[in-house]
Structure 1
Amino acid sequence: MCGEDKLTGKSYEHRRQWVEDRLLFLTTVFAIEVCAYAVMHNHTHVVLHVNSNKAKRWTDKEVAARWHKLHKGTLLSQAFTSKQSAPLTDAERITLHSTLSVYRHRLTDISWFMRELNEPIARQANQEDNCTGHFWEGRFKSQALLDEHALAACMVYVDLNPIRANMASTPETSKHTSIKRRIRDFKKGYQPSTLMPFIGNPKQPQSQGLMFELVDYLTLADLSGRNMAPDKRGAIDVNESPILQRLGLDEHTWKTMFLTFETTFSVAAGLSDTLKRYKRKRRQKAH
């Protein structure tokens, strides 16, 4: 579906980018955060966190605006978000409130999230293939992660999928995975806005994020990738240098950067070269 057709030799590799782009776009709409993902040739793995409290804080107009990123909504919801909207009657307000309650619920529903991920990809692929019918084999399967240990294990499992399948030799060279995106963005001095951030052990209880540090997660993934089961096709070569060395980073640098992220999550946190470039751009904009 998203790989190379062995019969014709035609490549559908570009569809993996479709899936990744759509997945990350949905995080800007739903109150559902992506912790990890891996887009493979014939399936996709995602680790999700439903942030119900976030959805409860949205105003009615924000709920409507978010839903309209996916669908047209109703005439009432469209009028409600219009800058020139006329005052609503009592009956219209009741109807609108009921509609927005449905939208708010859907924006916290994993089934709706997966539906909004899969259906547009299926339509796009069928249009490319000039055909109709089912693109995905069946409905998604899900499993609840009940504690931080299960979460970490599942994230590592997902991020190492390309390595187990012998599609990549290291996490940083894998394609269409959350771990590669995290590494790429963090080397630039920030964490991806479309992925749930690592926040370590926050001092403020209201902080939202993954309760461990990225440096520890990368190390865990790297070690896990060297100890694959014998029946798996691929693994990280035991002779490979530790991941921080391969990335040209030392643990002290990572720890220092994370102390900054823990308090501010500022884009001004980064390696010395990154910070210098950032300051130069700021000075140029000031003039």
Structure 2
Amino acid sequence: MPRPRKSLICLDSTPYYHCVSRCVRRAYLCGVDELTGKNYNHRRQVIENRALKLASIFAIDICAFAVMSNHTHLVLHVDKTKACAMSSDEVLKRWHMLHKGTVLTRRYMDKKQRNSLSEPELLSVIASIKVYRQRLYDISWFMRLLNEYIARMANKEDACTGRFWEGRFKSQALLDEGALLACMAYVDLNPIRAGKADTPEHSPHTSVKRRVRAAKNNTQPKKLMPFVNNSTHVRKGLPFDLKDYLLLIDETGRQLRADKPGAIPLDCEPILTRVGLAQAKWSLMVTNIETQFSTCISLAHAERKLVI
């Protein structure tokens, strides 16, 4: 029996989650439909832009993403502390970028009208702010505003109505650093496994392509959660080294697609040693992210499930 959504997302256990949304039946999200010949590639950038826009509004960071022909992958980090630290004005400002809010919240944000609000009206605004604040770190609301937007766009383009997604979305909790690394690699390497790209830097509409492009300029993408390598002067970020991660992606990608050409660096052992993954177990874990794990992923689960 499926578990309720609220039991799958527990921020006390982990702030990291892998979310997957798949199209219903033969609906095409992106790419070329081989049956009809219709090209949906223009949607890829729209979907990528929408996800990154939502991340800039919500207190939710994108660690990795991939936009495929009939599904999307997102590795998300929920920053509840950031949402709770926002001022009331900031909460309303962000929420009004997505929805109109209420008449009272709009009046509250108008400095000329704010002082005219009565005490009951102010209490109503405070109650709305509390609700909006909780939504700004809610993965369900994030995915809802992403998938609804895409479904409406697709149905309008296809001149049809009805369900576009097979369900809300699949969620997997990433309980430790090994699970986080494996899942990010799994997501970033999706186009390579599907035969849509030969190398990570040429994987269309993935986070790794953005990271490689930025790395060439010795920077990191502003719209993705940065790698901080446990730096003490940076408050938030992925606790790995960016160079090690890119080398790890190349190494894992070559193992998954041994027939592809290119000189792939082999000096990625430090990152594997740090998270306690043997090479063979790492390969199995990345390959079986969706098939061998249900709602939670961790090294302990990998030890029990992946027999070498």
Q: TM bucket by the smaller chain?
A: 0.7 to 0.9
Q: 1:243 offset after TM fit, Å?
A: 6.0
Question: What is the aligned partner in structure 2 of residue 32 from structure 1?
Answer: 60
The structure with the greater share of residues assigned to strand is 2
The TM-score normalised by the length of structure 1 is 0.79
Q: Deviations over 1:80-127 (max 9, x none)?
A: 112322312111111111111000001100000000100011111111
Which residue among 30, 39, 42 is the counterpart of 1:11? 39
Which residue among 200, 225, 241 is the counterpart of 2:263? 241
Which residue among 56, 77, 90 is the counterpart of 1:49? 77
Question: What is the aligned partner in structure 1 of residue 106 from structure 2?
Answer: 78
Are 2:63 and 2:74, in contact at CA under 8 Å, matched by a contact in 1? yes
Are 2:66 and 2:206, in contact at CA under 8 Å, matched by a contact in 1? yes
Q: Deviations over 1:237-267 (max 9, x none)?
A: 46411269xxxxxxxxxxxxxxxxxxxxxxx
Question: What is the aligned partner in structure 2 of residue 62 from structure 1?
Answer: 90
Are 1:169 and 1:237, in contact at CA under 8 Å, matched by a contact in 2? no
The TM-score normalised by the length of structure 2 is 0.74
Residue identity (%): 57
Q: RMSD in angstroms over aligned alpha carbons?
A: 1.5
Separation (CA, whole Å) in 2 of partners of 1:118 and 1:135: 9
Q: Deviations over 1:27-78 (max 9, x none)?
A: 1110000000000000001000000000011000110010011110001111
Which residue among 155, 177, 200 is the counterpart of 1:148? 177
Q: Return 5+ residue gaps in structure 2 as ranges.
A: 1-27, 267-308
Q: 1:203 offset after TM fit, Å?
A: 2.5
Are 1:218 and 1:243, in contact at CA under 8 Å, matched by a contact in 2? no
The answer to which structure, 1 or 2, has the higher relative contact order (CA under 8 A, 6+ apart) is: 2
Question: What is the aligned partner in structure 1 of residue 4 from structure 2?
Answer: none
Is 2:134 the counterpart of 1:105? yes
| Number of residue pairs aligned between Structure 1 and Structure 2 | 237
Decide which moves more: 38-47 or 74-83. 74-83
Are 2:75 and 2:183, in contact at CA under 8 Å, matched by a contact in 1? yes
Question: What is the aligned partner in structure 2 of residue 130 from structure 1?
Answer: 159
Secondary structure, aligned partner of 2:220:
coil
Question: What is the aligned partner in structure 1 of residue 220 from structure 2?
Answer: 191
Separation (CA, whole Å) in 2 of partners of 1:243 and 1:99: 52
Relative to structure 1, the CA distance from residue 60 to residue 150 in structure 2 (aligned partners, 3 Å threshold; closer, same or farther) is same
Are 1:170 and 1:236, in contact at CA under 8 Å, matched by a contact in 2? no
Q: Return 5+ residue gaps in structure 1 as ranges.
A: 229-234, 245-287
Question: What is the aligned partner in structure 1 of residue 298 from structure 2?
Answer: none
Separation (CA, whole Å) in 1 of partners of 2:237 and 2:87: 23
1:108-123 pair list within 5 angstroms: 108-123=137-152
Separation (CA, whole Å) in 1 of partners of 2:113 and 2:90: 15
